[in-house]
Amino acid sequence: MSWFRREKQPLEAPKVKRVQTEGLWTKCEKCKQTLWKKDLEANLFCCPKCAHHFRMSARDRLAMLFDDGQYTEHDTDLRSSDPLGFKDTKSYKDRLKKAERETGLRDALISGEGLLDGRRVNICAMEFRFIGGSMGAVVGEKIARAIDRSIAGLVPLIVVSCSGGARMMEGTISLMQMAKVSASLAGLDEVRVPYISVLTDPTTGGVSASFAMLGDLNIAEPDALIGFAGPRVIEQTIRQKLPDGFQRAEFLLEHGMLDAIVPRKELKGYLAGVLGLLAAPPCERAGGSA
């Protein structure tokens, strides 16, 4: 009889609630601790376990230094061209498009103007994710224009370097930026406006050989890699083993190449104190002008 017949129903798998955790954690390169990314961000991208300084984006850097994270961005319309028609495994134009998509920037530097502890300053910050923070014509032009604004307004200049050096895809044009920016800085020195260079990990190649080491004050973050050629290239050239910690910020400070090493959490306060000594009479402040 039909009421005794059991219809077979397919078994349904139990519903499992999945929690998305991919991309929420990262591992410290130094102490190997697994870190929650939001905790790392809240700690200014410094490991809460060992104080290792992670790389920081240019926008995060400017938000950290400017009062309330507010600033006016300059020269946003500048974009790298392809003057040499360069191509290796892919074209330079394709590399530029990819870097723009990944960073939301048009090149490897942001130039901003605002207040740091109430004092008006120009700050340029380099973005390593944009083709290794390499310096091409646009980076050089943006820094030169920032220098011109500092000269015109007698406003202190701070440049935060994070770069692998000159951009090989632009050849000699990129190397010309070293001389161009260095000459502009000489003009800044003539009007006695302070220029502070902040070197972060890494600062190498043509950047370290030009504006990064030309500050009235050269300061670095702890354990930052700073140098011209990389340690491996030097060892292969001189056929000798380099000392431990060679080209790290602490080694350079010990040998007189830096003026100070400042942890990231103390950087804004340190810069404010230094500018209070160097920028006299004080430049425009909140609520008034020099």
pLDDT score, position 13: 64
Q: What percent of the chain has pLDDT over 90?
A: 85
Give the pLDDT band (50/70/90) at residue 279: confident
* Dist. CA 61–CA 107, nearest whole Å: 16
Say which residue, 199 or 279, is predicted with more confidence.
Answer: 199
Say which residue, 19 or 151, is predicted with more confidence.
Answer: 151
Is residue 206 helix, strand or coil? helix
Residue ranges of the chain that CATH labels 3.90.226.10:
58-278
- Written as one letter, the residue type at 262 is V
pLDDT score, position 8: 62
Number of C-beta neighbours around residue 280 at 10 A:
11
- The answer to whether residue 282 scores a pLDDT higher than 50 is no
Give the pLDDT band (50/70/90) at residue 230: confident
The tokens for 252 are 């350079």
pLDDT score, position 14: 65
Give the pLDDT band (50/70/90) at residue 287: very low
The CATH classification of domain 58-278, taken from the options 3.90.226.10, 3.60.21.10, 3.90.550.10, 3.30.460.80 = 3.90.226.10
pLDDT, tens digit, 9 for 90 and up, residues 138-194: 999 999 999 999 999 999 999 999 999 999 999 999 999 999 999 999 999 999 999
Instruction: State the Cα torsion 152-154-160-163 to the nearest 10°.
Output: 30
- The answer to whether residue 226 scores a pLDDT higher than 60 is yes
* Dist. CA 251–CA 231, nearest whole Å: 13
* Dist. CA 40–CA 30, nearest whole Å: 14
pLDDT score, position 3: 56
Is residue 259 helix, strand or coil? coil
pLDDT, tens digit, 9 for 90 and up, residues 84-143: 999 999 999 999 999 999 999 999 999 999 999 999 999 999 999 999 999 999 999 999
Element (DSSP H or E) covering residue 202: strand 195-204
Element (DSSP H or E) covering residue 40: helix 37-42
Instruction: State the Cα torsion 67-70-71-76 to the nearest 10°.
Output: 150
Identify the burial level of 261 via C-beta atoms within 10 angstroms of its C-beta, where 0-12 means exposed, 13-18 middle and 19 or more buried. Answer: middle
- The answer to whether residue 209 scores a pLDDT higher than 60 is yes
If we measure between CA atoms, which residue out of 180, 214, 208 comes closest to residue 195? 214
- The answer to whether residue 5 scores a pLDDT higher than 90 is no
- The answer to whether residue 7 scores a pLDDT higher than 80 is no
Mean pLDDT of 264-286: 81
Cβ–Cβ < 8 Å for 177, 139: yes
pLDDT score, position 19: 53
> 0.85 cut: is pTM over it?
yes
- The answer to whether residue 285 scores a pLDDT higher than 50 is no
